[in-house]
Structure 1
Amino acid sequence: MGRYRTGGCMCGEVRFRVEGEPIRTGLCHCKDCRKYSGSAFTIFAVWPLSWFSMSGHIGTYAGRSFCTNCGARLFSLRAEEAEIMVGSLDEAPSTLIPSYELWVGRREEWLPELPWTDLHQGDRDPNRESWRQPMRVGHTGGGR
């Protein structure tokens, strides 16, 4: 695959690695993501589960995994995907540009709409085939 990214928790107990580029990158404004992140929204990137590996001890609550030592939220693992909280990556996630937003009705009024993202009132429909390819740095956008 070539390119890979590494990440982990604050205390170093949990480490992970993802191969290649993500399938998609998104923002979520839902109440659960706010509670888990302690922020107004979360940003995440999704890789195939087979491209993900980890070491260390994790706990999982409601599908969200965290370090049992320091409590840092890291990822959510599903049957075929690994959703990585991009803030847990070792390098700044500036090349991971969101292509969609979830729960936009809950976006804070002071947070402007990203004109290149697809907007959704709720969760992503996994049966929908029209998800955009992840954008790369230098992309000028392009509306919905």
Structure 2
Amino acid sequence: MSRIRGMAVAGLMFAGVLALSGCTSPDFPFQDLKRDRQPGDELPAAPGPAEMDLDTSTSRFVGEYEGASLWLVQGNDAMSICLVIDTGAPDWHAACGGTLGVTASGTAGAFAVVPDGSSPPDGAIAVSANVYAVPATG
């Protein structure tokens, strides 16, 4: 009986360590969103698409690539991620997907958002921990 009790105590201690480290709850798998928010993380002042359902309080500026400024933002649906792309045009645009990531392409180029621990597309150039520019092939 004491061996079982010892295993139970060890299990409870392990669970406590996991709880303190934040590992017991599902974690949104995007490292870029885990840092503290800074003043430059606000989305551009230019209007965005009205149909986007973004939680703007989660936006994080992740970098620039060939004239495009990029932000990651969580959607109002807790399991969606969006990439906001601003090229200086009168308005910015965004592409959204689930926790498996999202791809976006347009006049600003092609980009891929990949969750932590996932591989970026072949030939992709890292913009941040989760955002990659995907050069045109051909």
- For this structure pair, what is the TM-score category when the shorter chain's length is used for normalisation? under 0.3
Larger fraction in strand: 1
Name which one, 1 or 2, has greater alpha-carbon Rg: 2
Bigger RCO (CA 8 Å, 6+ sep): 1
TM (normalized to structure 2)? 0.26
Larger fraction in helix: 2
TM (normalized to structure 1)? 0.25
